[in-house]
Structures are given as C-alpha cells and as structure tokens.
Structure 1
Amino acid sequence: SGAGREPLLVGHAFGLKVDQISDFIIGENGVYKIKVTKKDKSSGLDTYSSYQNQLLLSSRPSVNSTLYQAVKESAEIIDNRSTYY
C-alpha cells in the first residue's frame, strides 16, 4: 500500500502463489519484496465492451499520429516550387 503506480509489482504479484514470497523487485518508485497472503477469484464481467471502447478511444489519436509520422518519413518529397515562382 502506498507504492503508487507499479505495474511490474502488480505483474509479479499475479504470478505468485498464496504464501509465496517474491525476490526483490526493482520498481519505478523503489525496491519491493512481496508476499501473497490471499487470492480472490474475479467475478468477471458479462461484457468487456466498455473497456474495449475506452481503449479504442484513448489509442486512436496515438495511432493516427504514428501513422502520419510514418507516411511523412517514408515519403520522397521533391520541392519544385522554385520552378513556378
């Protein structure tokens, strides 16, 4: 508790069995050693569409930007403006 956002720590925790102690884990905000004391089964969701929509909406600008940058870098643009002006 109080570790902040530590995705590596969460990943390690999911990989441990109950009463298993981890090795030292180097996170973004410190070094951790964890022990899983209990695991509860997730109740699951009937549909994950709201999460899917959220991911789609949040990643769309990034995809468009990355695609535009890739096209721009691969284009062979020749500046012929001096011919006309």
Structure 2
Amino acid sequence: MTEDAVARPIRATWRKSAIGYSEDMKATVASLGFRKLNQTRDLPDTPAVRGMLKKVDFLVAVDGEPWQPPTRSRYKIPRTRSKKKHTRGR
C-alpha cells in the first residue's frame, strides 16, 4: 500500500454535553467511544464514522474544521410546563 491509500484517522473531541438531547444523540456519542466531556479520540475514516460525526456535529468538534457551539438546537428535547396552578395571593 502506498501512503496515499492509507486513510488517516479523524481526530474528534466531545465538546458539548448531550444532557437534554434525545436518547438517539446520546447513543451516537457513546458509539463513537466517548465517555467523558472534552475527550479526544482518533476514529477511523470510514463512511459510517463520518455519518455519525455529521449527526452529532453540534456536540462534537472535528480537528481541522471550525466548531461553533449551537445557539439553538432543533434536536433538543422541549421542556414541558407543569400543570400546577398558581394560587398565590388568594
């Protein structure tokens, strides 16, 4: 094999917590092998890994690409308001 044929690993770092996101996003982060926040991993450059990184690109930073924390996420689980009535002052 030549040097060009050998795929370099992708270096990815888990930057944002998955708390508040769907179980699917948490499972994807775990399947990439991340256990702790700010952990860096060298992942194989395969289509499956690239797809997983694309799915959680708002949580994981890939070296060589700019990463901005999301301002508002469409993947976040919406909070529900309590049904409790306020009875203050009555």
Query: Which structure is higher in helix share?
Result: 1
Bigger Rg over Cα: 1
**Normalised TM-score (structure 1):** 0.24
**Normalised TM-score (structure 2):** 0.24
Larger relative contact order, structure 1 or 2 (CA cutoff 8 Å, min sep 6) = 2
